[in-house]
Amino acid sequence: MSLKYKLKTIVFFVLFSFFSGCDRSSEFQGVFVYSDGGSINVLNLNSIESSVKVDFKGGGYNISDVTSFGDNSILYSACSKYGCDSYEYSFIKKRSRVVASGFRPFYMRNHKEILIYDSGSSGTTLYAQSLGDSKKRKIAEVMGLKLPNGSIVDYAGPIVKISDNLVTFITKGNELKAYNSTTREVFGLGFNDCIPVAWLAKANSLLCSKVNSRVSFLLDVETGLKIGLPFYFGFNSVSYSKKYNAIIYQKPRFSFLYGEVSDLYAYMLDEGREVKIKNKIFSVSGYWQD
């Protein structure tokens, strides 16, 4: 192979990588609010323009667990070697405030209650805490996740909203459970081996990831019917839009310049069609607000 041919090949790959990384406007409306681990960003899904709202880079914090706290604010957790706290960030006031100790917060708006995980000497537990009240009520112990080396670690899985009063999560023994914020009742749904990812309102089904397996499926919690999906969505930064009946998620790919990068996609459930939204995005958590 001649030197001239090698140089042409290198130039081709450089140009291909550059132009394949150029974003265009998408067919979607709304925003994707996400954390890249050090900051919180808001991506306009139509113009594909992104802005940084909270920046902890260089501060020794890991920023994650971004979720909605209303029309003009979000919840997120910031963890350091000293522990985790959860914050509210107001887009209007442009500042953050601590709302609870712990991580992976989830807001039950109808009852002004935050569900949150916290770790102690006895392990990691899911709690409920009313806004403005430091007292926590125990909801459930988390599941033990077996790592490839055989060790067991606590796993605080996603909290997924099914209705205004009902959420689901995975607990000890890999059991899928639900919490009713009106009655404060915790009960099993009769299923195992489902890490809940998102509630698909139009399908009346739960998007699940199998425990210890790269498999995604839909679960009808009333009938128990499971429907396989064409690929693995994971369970971080996965969100659902009822308006579009679509799932937003990340998918990794090889890049000649950067090694492995992730792109943001939407999967249109009605059409079985995958749409790329943005190239080269890294998100540890996020949600789609349309």
DSSP 199: E
Could you tell me which residues are beta bridge partners of residue 216? 209
Q: Decide if 263 is inside a domain.
A: yes
Q: Decide if 17 is inside a domain.
A: yes
Q: Decide if 37 is inside a domain.
A: yes
Residue 60 domain boundaries? 3-284
255 CA to centre of own chain:
24
Q: Evaluate whether 32 touches 248 at the Cβ level (below 8 Å).
A: yes
pLDDT digits (tens, 9 = 90+) for 197-243: 999 999 999 999 988 788 999 999 999 999 999 888 887 789 999 99
Q: Decide if 289 is inside a domain.
A: no
Average pLDDT over residues 169-195: 92
Average pLDDT over residues 18-31: 65
pLDDT digits (tens, 9 = 90+) for 73-108: 999 999 988 889 999 999 999 989 999 999 999 999
Task: Identify the residue with better confidence: 100 or 9.
Answer: 100
Identity of residue 78: A
Question: In the structure, what pLDDT confidence band is assigned to residue 117 with cuts at 50, 70 and 90?
Answer: very high
Q: Is the pLDDT of residue 195 over 60?
A: yes
Number of domains in the chain: 1
Strands 226-228 and 166-171: unpaired
Q: Decide if 290 is inside a domain.
A: no
Domain with residue 250: its CATH number is: 2.120.10.30
Q: Is the pLDDT of residue 9 over 70?
A: no
Which are the contacts of 101, defined by CB distance < 8 A and separation ≥ 6? 83, 84, 85, 86, 116, 118
Instruction: Report pTM.
Output: 0.84
Could you tell me which residues are beta bridge partners of residue 158? none
Q: How many CB atoms lie within 10 A of CB 232?
A: 15
pLDDT digits (tens, 9 = 90+) for 253-269: 887 776 788 899 999 99
Q: Decide if 84 is inside a domain.
A: yes
